[in-house]
């Protein structure tokens, strides 16, 4: 009886500690890459609302003066135009601003098409290739897009 009580007590303590431990904290680079991957998946799955949640309400495109509503219109047209969307992205760099983890400027090149693509397809690729410079800010524990610039990319931009 005493031995089974000790085993039961030990199991309770183990489960209590396991429940309190939680997940290990994620470093800032992993959190940022997870955010970028989630954005890619949201676009490929045509979940525009999920994508737009990652854009700050005060978003402004530096070069074009577009706001969040303009981005929504552009994305709706893009998503309606293609039955399927496939993205191949390459994160080129991430520069943390002010030596912290609250703000980061990321350069990403992306190829977007209506069919699955690979790096070997890029020289003859017939889709959109874009180079983005995106500023993310940590707001309420999530990286949110606050500013972006983009330009046409070439296959050479996908090489490290």
Phi, psi of 85 (to 5 degrees): -130, 130
The pLDDT value given to residue 57: 93
pLDDT of residue 160: 64
Closest CA to 93 of 135, 125, 59: 135
Can you give the pLDDT at residue 25?
A: 63
Q: Cα–Cα distance between 93 and 133 in angstroms, integer?
A: 9
Query: From first to last of its 160 residues, what are the pLDDT tens digits of the chain?
Result: 443 333 333 333 333 333 444 555 678 999 999 999 999 999 999 999 999 999 999 998 877 788 999 999 988 988 888 888 888 899 999 999 977 879 999 999 998 888 887 777 777 777 788 999 999 999 999 999 999 998 999 888 887 6
Instruction: Give the Cβ contact number of residue 112 at 10 Å.
Output: 20
50/92 Cα distance (integer angstroms): 24
- The CATH number of 25-158 is 3.10.450.50
């Amino acid at each position: 009886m005493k031995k089974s009580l000790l085993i039961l007590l030990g199991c309770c303590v183990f489960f209590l500690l396991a429940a309190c431990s939680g997940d290990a904290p994620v470093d800032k680079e992993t959190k940022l890459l997870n955010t970028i991957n989630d954005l890619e998946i949201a676009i490929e799955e045509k979940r525009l609302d999920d994508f737009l949640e990652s854009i700050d309400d005060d978003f402004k495109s530096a070069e074009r003066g577009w706001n969040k509503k303009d981005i929504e219109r552009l994305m709706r047209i893009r998503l309606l135009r293609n039955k399927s969307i496939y993205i191949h992205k390459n994160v080129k760099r991430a520069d943390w601003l002010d030596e912290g983890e609250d703000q980061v400027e990321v350069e990403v090149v992306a190829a977007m098409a209506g069919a699955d693509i690979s790096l070997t397809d890029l020289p003859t690729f017939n889709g959109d290739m874009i180079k983005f410079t995106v500023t993310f800010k940590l707001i309420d524990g999530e990286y949110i897009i606050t500013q972006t610039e983009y330009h046409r990319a070439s296959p050479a931009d996908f090489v490290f």
